[in-house]
Every structure is written in structure tokens, then in C-alpha cells.
Amino acid sequence: MTSEPTRGSTSASGDRSLARYRAKRDFKATPEPRGLKARSRGHRYLIQKHAARRLHYDFRLELDGVLKSWAVTRGPSLDPADKRLAVHVEDHPLDYGSFEGIIPKPQYGGGTVMLWDEGSWEPLGDAHAMLRAGRLKFRLDGERLKGEWNLVRMRNRSPREKRENWLLIKGHDSAARPGEGDSLLEMEDSSVVSGRSMEEIGRSRSVWNSKARQDDKTAKPAAELKGRPSPSDRRAAPTKAAKRTALPDFVEPQLATRVEAPPEGADWLHEIKLDGYRIQARLERRKARLLTRRGLDWSHRFASIAAAIEALPAKTALFDGEIVAFAENGLSDFGRLQAILGGEEEGELAFVLFDLLYLDGYDLRPLPLLERKARLLRLLGANERGPLRFSQHFDRDGAEIYRHACELALEGVVSKQAHAPYRPGRGLGWLKSKCRERQEFVIAGFTKPAKGLPGIGSLALGYGSEGAFRYAGRVGTGFSQQQSLALRRRLERIRQDKPPFDALPAAVRRGVTFVKPTLVCEIEFATWTRDGLVRQASFLGLREDKPASQITREKIMARASTPSSRTEKEKPARPTRRKPTAAAKDEAARSSKEESFHGVRLTHPDKLLYKEQGITKQDLAQYYVDVADYIMPHVRRRPLAIVRCPDGASGACFYQKHLSAGMPDAIKPFSVKGRTGRETYVSIEDVRGLIALVQFGVLELHPWGASVDDVDKADRIIFDLDPDPGVAWPDVVSAAEEVRERLKELKLESFLKTTGGKGLHVVAPLKPAIAWEPVKRLTQVVAMSMASDNPARYLAKASKAARKGKIFVDYLRNDRGSTAVAPYSTRAREGAPISAPLEWRELGPRVKSDQFCLENIRDRLARLKRDPWEGFFKLRQSLNSKTLAQLEASP
């Protein structure tokens, strides 16, 4: 807080300071406030950008009822190494802190004044004593400047020098931006109160001054801009920044600049990045229109959403949001959105709203984002499942939100300045951090599929760059059969003989049918090669909402710092330049290591995956090569769910079943029709696939109980015996033997394996000829009969409360899409345990579920005379008609 004023300073020096201020101005000619010295002991801080004879920034701190002021010629710098000249000028009245407008020439300081930043300040010590000593240390909490700062008085070079020169220096803290000192000034050029640029203020005759009198030379003061609540919305009266005006024409959307990671600080809120079509919804006279980013009217394509907008309790409104299709896993899916719009699938679409720009007579764009979102939420109500959804946000640490988003295989995070107005165009007020590489490309040609099949084989991609059209590689996966045929028909209509590229190698031309570069598609890919081509690309769908002329290679800012109203193209932020430490050099050397391991690029082969055992990524890859003959029959050509642990078993791990960008090409996509549409799963075909999974941080493999050849027919039955921690191991052994005997009664032979955890799996192979429902029914009957016969030992329901002292006979893994850990798969657990097949004769009190691990499994296999599961795939048993009849007759 501000320290107590010294005796006499409040009356004497304060009056003299304002006397000098008044003496310099003719208040009949300038709209600046005359001002009175206040008795306030507040702690306001502000900066006014002032284009007078020379552009400068007036830095002001409230002290003793006036604004202590310095003219900073080059503006504040976020780099502590920069020392900016700050000339001490006359004190200004507190009223001056609300001034923004034009000082007419030739008046003193004639020119444009913008309120560039405002907030509060806190002296780090006795403010008056520090001022007298010439070293004022303080902390700022402004819209744009934060953290610790210093004002240091310089010695006059001559006794005749009249002006008092100081230096404004940023302190070393989390708000500092070494190497980026000027980025804030270069990128941020709008008012924090009106959202206007210097040019807009210069063209306007209005003055942003909440205390100025209204006269012929000024527009209505801000107090009168408050307006009154609209009759249709008494719940939320606009603040002084909301302007009463007519519904604006099409508003250019605010766009996010891509950064490597989300920004830090409490000034940001974070939303999950959506995967759909950006739409502006206009409600006018109870009639809704849905416009794309280019202003195209797509109301006819989203009639149900337009109807939902019209049903809202508002007469006139302007919304910003994204239309998406949600997959079965609850994530937005652009491929499914395309399929629904193309008539390939049936499904509901949702309009996820994240901003409200106008409501019933008031332009809300100048309001802080949090206030706009609050109004939007009140208007929508508690609507979680309908066609209109509210985009929830998080105000926790951006890095944490980003990590969770990537672990859940989401597209990424959009970070937004919480208190900023809505600023059209691409700037630093909104930032996007992607978990996966994806962007739009222009389709420049196509190849035909092999063996004379219809459709397309691959698409040739391109983008604009400095007036040229550059080749970006090809994409040959991700198409459904219907998409492939439809694309071929559209591309045939725009064929051309000459390649659209400015330069194209002869090898690339072969087999390509070139087309006019007018269609835009969205592609997901692993990375860019050194030659500027996409690697491991997958087609997501066409983007009819974006023109080909605007498609360029997306740039990534090295670092996120502050919001901006300018585009990245106009003035990119400069990356941090720091001298690398020895530890950083070592890390860089480790990062550069990579090896080709059985044809797969293995990066960081020495990375520890199981730290206590010292097991590296290369060790795990070698293990799968050694046991390939054992594990491959259980994982090859099956949809897989995987457990990924990017930082090893001791780090954060997450479960994933769908294919995602960045996976090596040895990991194959497999498209499966789900309950709500098609979903693309992970699958592999050979040992390269196993190693590729290791490269991608996979420590567990969980295959379906069916092959990709027919996912609707089960080829095995699995009972997972999951004991409560208090159950003795001999009881688990007895449970496995009992399951085996009950299956024998059904004429089914079974096999046994450890889980690598605390239980056992009993597995019976099947001839893939029966649908999932009777298979699930069979396992349910067996589990329930065991629980019924011995309720003190077994239960057949997944109830933690009832499991104490019992074994859960889990039959739920016998359903379409359910999985179980594969034989010989590692587990993401301490000790690197393995799910190991056993012979029935080995089952006993000496064999535990986590007994076999990466350190001893190969020794075990070397000692065995035969495969414990020998004959598993040759056993062609099934549920005959008698067995099925018994199931139907079971209670």
C-alpha cells in the first residue's frame, strides 16, 4: 500500500505541482481536466500513449492526491536489460487518469492521447523516502504491465540542465521477457478502456472521460453510455463500455495466434480447442442467420441450430462459436461432422458458443471477455445436452490444462485474455496451443488408387508463401470410401494440365493429375520434414468455409507473453535469447540421439521407461523383437487400446484407443463403425508396429477380442478374476480352476495367464462365428452362477463397496469394443511386470500374478520346452446349438 505522506506535502507541494500543470494549459481550448488536488491516498497506476510533437508514453503513479508523472520516450520495456529514459514532468490531477482524446494544436502537448494501460501500484518500501533518494521500487498490477519495476534517478550532466531524468527498468521476475522488450509496444496498440487505436481516436472528436462535462465539442461522456437495461434483458445492464447502437454488420472474427505452449498468469482463461466450423450467429427480429468466417450464409445447412438460436429469450443478438459433431468419446470430431453434413451418417450437431458480441441494443465487444461470457451463460441457461452449448473455461495454470488436453488426445487449448475486449483479426489476445500438428492445405492434384480401383489414391497438397504456391507433400490416408469417390468426382471437374506449383521436382509429378488450386482440406500430420513436406499425414475433411487464397503455412510463436491487436504477420514477437546452460547443452545432445531400430526411427533410445530397473526405450523395443513370435498373434490386425506413458512408468500415463497425429506410419488406422459414427482405432501388422508403439511411449497393449476381419464376431472369451487386496492368493487360484471347470461343462477348453497386476485371466478361444451378445450372455451366466453358489467368495457386479474380501468375476470384457491386456504385454507399473501365459499345471501358491517381468520373462521362455498356449489358435471351438439353448434356459 502507499505509505503515509510526509508532513506538509499534501497541501503545499501538491498545490504547487498542480499550479504548474494548470499554468501550461488553456482549459478553454483543451478538453483536458483542470483537476483539483484530492485527499485520496489511493494507489492508481496508468500509462497514456501520447502522440504529441514526439510519440512517448506518460507513466503516472498516484501519490498524495496527484499523479506523479514521467514521460518515457521509448515506452516501457519488458526486458530487465533495457533502461528506458523517463523524464520527470509536472504532477497531474487524478482526473487526468480518465482522459483519452485529442489535445488541440498548438496547445501544450497537442496531439492524440490514448489510455494505454491502467491498474494499481504498490511501493516496495517508503514511497517518499525512495523518491527523495532517487530509487523508487514498486510493483504494478495493470492490464498490460505487471510485476516489479524500478525508477532510478540519473545525475545531471550539467548544473544548467533543468529536466530531471530517470530510468524505468523492469525487475527480474516471472513477468519479465528477456529479449522481447519491445514486443508489448509493437503488438499492443489499442486503448484498454475504449478498444480504439491511435488512428481511431485521432479521427474521432469524442473524449473518453468519465468526469468531463458534455458540450458541443465532445461526444456523450462515458457515464451516459451506460444506457439502461433492454426490456428483454433486465438481468444484465451493460457497463460503461457497452454502447447502445444498432446491430453491426458482419463482424470479422477474432482469431488466435499459434504458440508453442499456453501463456502463464492469472490474466488468462483457457478453453478446449474445438474441431468444427467457426460460425457467427446473427439473431435479428427473432430470425437467425449462421455465417461462416467469410460471411457465407450457411443457415440452410444448420437449420436445427438456427431454430435453437431463435428460441432464445432475446430479440437481437450476435454470437461467436463453433459448430461441431461429438464422437462417442465426447470429443469433437471434424471427420464425423463432415460425414453428417455429407449424408454418410446420421447424428446431431451442436453449436458451442464462446462469445456474445451484441445483445438487444448493446454492443458488448468493448466489455471484458469474462463479462461477455457471463452474459452468454445467463442467456443460454443450464443447457448441457441440447444443440446450444456453453464453452466452459478454466482459470487454472495453462500448462496443466494443456497437459491434460494432450493426454486426452484433444486437439489443444485456446487461451484468452480474460479482461480484454473483442478485437477482430489475428492477434495475441487469443492464443492457441495444439497437441497435434494440423492445418489447412490447398488440394493441387490427386493420384489414382492401385489396381484400377475407383476414387483417389492420394492428394497433392500446397500452400501460399510470399506470392508463390509451394508443394507440401501428399496425404493418402483418412478417406472413407464415400469420401474418396466424392473427392474424385469433384476433382475431375477442375482438372488442368499444368502443375499449379511454382517449382515441382520431376519425381513428384509422376502419376499426379493436377487440378485448379481452389479446394481446401484439413490435414493432421506428425511433423514437417526439413524439405518442408508434411510427414505421416491423414485427411480430415474439406474446409468449404476457408478460401484457398488465404491458406499459408501456420507459424508458431516461440513464446506467449501478452495480448495483441496486431496480426503475427505484421509484427511477430521475438523469441527469447538466452545463453544455453551446461545442462541445456547436455539435454540437447541427448535429444539429438536417434537410431533406426528394425526399420523404425527410435528417438531418445536411452530414455528410461522403468527407472528402478534401468530399462530404456531401446530395451523395451528389443524385448518386443525377442518375443514377437509369442505376442504378435494376439495383437496383429486387431483394434488396440493402448496405455501411453511419455515420461515412463513413473510419470503420467493415459489410456488411448483412437489413432492420433504424430504416430509412426507403422501404426495403422482401422476404421470401425460405432454407435454414433465411424471411429479410427490403432492397429499394427508386424514387428515394426510394435516398435513404433514403443517409440510413441506405449507401455501396455489391450486388444479387442476380435480381429479387424470381423469385429462383430468374438474369437475368444475372457474372464478377469480381480481380487480385493484382502483376498489370499490360494483363493484366486481356486477361482481360476472353478472357471475352467465351468467352461469344460460347456465343452470349452481354456487357457490361463497372469495379468501383471493382482489377478488372473482365464481365456477360451472361439471360432469367430457368433455375435457378441450370446458370448456376453454366456460369460454373465458363468459369473453370476459362481456368485450365486458362493456369495461369500465371489461377486459378479463391479461394486467396490461389496467387493471387500471377495473376487470380482469380471465378464464385462466380452463385448464389442471391450479390451483386455495382451499376453506378453508389459504393464505401466513399478517393476515392469508382464502379463504372462501359464500352463494350467503351473498354477499354484508359488506363482503370483506379477511374478514375471521384463527382467525374467525371456529366461522363463528359454527354459520352457513349449509355448504355454500352444494350440490356442488351432482350437476351433464354438458355442453349439445345445450350449446356446442352455444359455436361453439359464435364469
Annotated catalytic residues are: 273
What gap in Å lies between CA 92 and CA 60, rounded to an integer? 8
Determine the length of the chain: 891
Q: How far, in Å, CA of 667 to CA of 657, rounded? A: 12
Radius of gyration of the chain (CA): 34
What is the distance between the alpha carbons of residues 750 and 721, in angstroms, rounded to a whole number? 14
Q: Which residues pair with 355 in a beta bridge?
A: 320
Are 14 and 37 contacting, i.e. CB atoms less than 8 angstroms apart? yes
Grid cell of 393 as nine digits: 473455461
CB-based contact 761:849 (threshold 8 Å): no
C-alpha distances in Å from residue 744, one per residue of 773, 778, 812: 21, 13, 20
What does residue 723 show for φ and ψ, rounded to 5 degrees?
-85, 150
Angle between helices 772-789 and 881-889 (to 10 degrees): 50
| Cα gap 24→344, rounded to integer Å | 74
Cell numbers found for residue 834: 508382464
| Alpha helices per DSSP H over 312-397 | 334-341, 369-380
Closest C-alpha to 491, from 542, 545, 422, 430: 542
**What number of other Cβ atoms are within 10 A of residue 590's Cβ?**
11
Q: Which amino acid is at 140?
A: L
* C-alpha triplet 845, 851, 855: angle, nearest 5°: 155
3 state SS of 582: helix
CB-based contact 78:148 (threshold 8 Å): no
Q: How many CB atoms are located within 10 Å of the residue 574 CB?
A: 17
Rounded Cα–Cα distance for residues 728 and 762 (Å): 18
The H or E element that residue 322 is part of is strand 317-324
Contact 574, 557 (CB under 8 A): no
Determine how many CB atoms are found less than 10 A away from the CB of residue 400.
12
Pair 653, 631: CB distance under 8 Å: no
In sequence order, what DSSP letters do the residues of 548-562 get, joined into one string?
Answer: GGG-BPPP-BS---S
Which residue matches cell numbers 521362455?
A: 861
Cβ atoms within 10 A of the Cβ of 399, count?
15
> What is the SS3 assignment for 46?
strand
**Which of 756, 720, 735 lies closest to 828, judged by CA?**
756
What is the edge-to-edge ordering of all strands in the sheet holding 268-272? 254-258, 425-434, 412-417, 268-272
Give helix 687-695 / helix 617-626 axis angle, nearest 10°.
160
CA distances to 205, 246, 249 from 363, rounded to whole Å, are: 20, 8, 12
Residue burial 364-374, b: 16+ Cβ < 10 Å; e: rest: bbbbbbbbbbe
Q: Which three cell numbers stand for residue 477?
A: 490416408
Cα–Cα distance list, 490 to 325, 484, 495, 550 (Å): 24, 10, 9, 21
Nearest Cα to Cα of residue 360 among 530, 233, 449, 466: 233
